[in-house]
Amino acid sequence: MTQEQTQLGTGIGWRPEIAAGIDQLFGIDWVEVVAENLCHDHLPEPLTRLRERGVTVVPHGVGLGLGGAERPDPGRLVALAQRAELTESPLVTEHIAFVRAGGPMTASPRFEAGHLLPVPRTRDALDVLCANVRIAQDALPVPLALENVAALFSWPDEEFTEGEFLCELVERTGVELLVDVANLHTNHVNRGEDPVKALDQLPLEAIAYVHVAGGFEDDGVWHDSHAHPVSEPVLEVLRELCARVSPPGVLLERDENFPPVAELAAELDAIGRITGDAQGVVRA
Amino acid sequence: MPETLTETHATETPATETHELSAARERLALRQASLLSALVVGTPPPEGFDRARLRVQARALAAKRADVIAKIAPELPRILGAAYREEYLAYAAGHPLTGGYRQDALAFARQLLDAGTPADPGARRELRRWWRQRSGPGAHRSRELLRLARTALGRGRR
């Protein structure tokens, strides 16, 4: 199964737009950076500075599409492995999603989705995902953790719940989990899937870290925008998770509509109060 | 700048994969391809999906694409101003993403220029300059080499 996870602490998604602000967050333990936005041979200067301060940098991939039908692309795997080595990260993370489809297997053109789409929770998709995860694990120098994604729609004829699907995945591959509580909330609103039930079914010991992010509801649909403040229902899912297990790490994601750093610091404080990060977490 | 990956797409079945797994890959490939085609090309959605939700998802993908292009090519929204989003979404509706974003940004600009957009000559000149810089100098050099090669082989055209 899974090995002893690294204690990461409280972190924030590093984006170039808030690099200066993150520099001022002295209590920050770690940052996550989109793997595809890194060059293969050097880190952006602000990230190098953070590393020198002892801040852990974790590469977070968005382009592998391990939930896709094809074997993961060798070039993309090599690139992700390089980013893991470049950051000297204790792990790398990706998503349980497909991001492209079509091509030779379907005799149709190949299209990119440009974002993460949910896989059908069926026996077929699980078998393929597990095979792809093993290929990825063989190619990576550090453990891999996979994230549950936010969905705007449901696949018909699903055979597993979210919890069951993730349990099987962990059992069969030993992969770790990145549990995004905002995505659990999203799927509650959009698919009627109870996050408490999902948490009850999850293999909690496999959690490598937790994502928290803000979104908004429009016309009965939750959009996981990463452009809005973290709202109470998302924090409530985090509370439920922390009532069951003490996650090794928690990370705030903000990708758009960046507020002043003090606002992000306040959100990190609120998250730290829930996870029990006693240090008073971060100060801008 | 991050490098653009050239995909190799190993599609052959390695000896280690069972027939069952290959069959599962094929079934999954068809389901995912028909769904994605509905989302990005607008082909009829597969049976059993909530069509209203697929429309929400399709709009979300297009909006995300517009955001990414605006980030990697900030000159485009600057040159096009308030029209950027509408113009890009109109382009995206007929051009699903098949490769990288840089390629997509160039194709978008090329389509605008071919259509005589933007109407303002100054903005159009600026857009043309942007397109030319981004698609060259490598692209220009190789086109020139190709022309010279054709001439040398006696198959020069114009």
Please give the ipTM for the structure prediction. Answer: 0.95
Chain A contact for B47 (CB, 8 A cutoff)? yes
Residue B50 lies in a domain: no
Residue B23 lies in a domain: no
Q: Do B32 and A39 touch (CB under 8 A)?
A: no
At residue B113, the 3 state secondary structure works out as helix
Residue B47 lies in a domain: no
Residue A88: which residues within 8 A CB-CB, separation 6 or more?
A51, A57
| Confidence at residue A1, expressed as pLDDT on a 0 to 100 scale | 42
When pLDDT is cut at 50, 70 and 90, the band that residue B99 belongs to is confident
Taking the C-alpha atoms of A72, A76, A78 and A79 in order, what is their torsion angle to the nearest 10 degrees? -150
Q: Give Rg (Cα) of chain A.
A: 18
Q: What ranges do the domains of chain A cover?
A: 29-256+266-277
Percent of residues, chain B, with pLDDT higher than 70: 77
Residue B6 lies in a domain: no
Weakly modelled stretches of chain A, pLDDT under 50:
1-2
Q: What is the pTM of this model?
A: 0.90
CA distance A243 to chain B (A): 33
At residue A103, the 3 state secondary structure works out as strand
Residue A263: which residues within 8 A CB-CB, separation 6 or more?
A229
| Confidence at residue A192, expressed as pLDDT on a 0 to 100 scale | 97
CA distance B88 to chain A (A): 15
Identity at B82, one-letter amino acid code: A
CB A140 within 8 A of CB A119: no
Residue B107 lies in a domain: yes
Q: Is the pLDDT confidence value at B157 over 50? A: no
Residues of B in contact with A69 (CB under 8 A): 25-26, 28-29, 32
Residue B89 lies in a domain: yes
Residues of A in contact with B68 (CB under 8 A): 114
| Confidence at residue A40, expressed as pLDDT on a 0 to 100 scale | 92
Q: Do B11 and A70 touch (CB under 8 A)?
A: yes
> How many domains, in total, are found in chain B?
1
CB A2 within 8 A of CB A267: no
Residue A59 CB neighbour total at 10 angstroms: 26
CA distance A274 to chain B (A): 31
Residue B44 lies in a domain: no
The residue among A65, A125, A69, A151 whose CA lies nearest residue A102 is A69
Residue B140 lies in a domain: yes
What letter does residue B154 receive in the DSSP assignment? T
Class at the top of the CATH hierarchy for domain A29-256+266-277: alpha beta
Which domain, by its residues, includes B118? 68-152
- Supply φ then ψ for residue A186, to 5 degrees: -55, -45
Which residues of chain A form beta strands (DSSP E)?
Answer: 9-13, 30-34, 56-60, 92-95, 98-103, 108-117, 144-147, 176-180, 207-213, 216-218, 221-223, 249-253
Q: Suggest the residue from A38, A128, A132, A154 to mutate for an interface test with chain B (most B CBs closer than 10 A).
A: A128
B residues 56-75 closer than 8 Å to A (CB): 56-57, 60-61, 64-65, 67-68
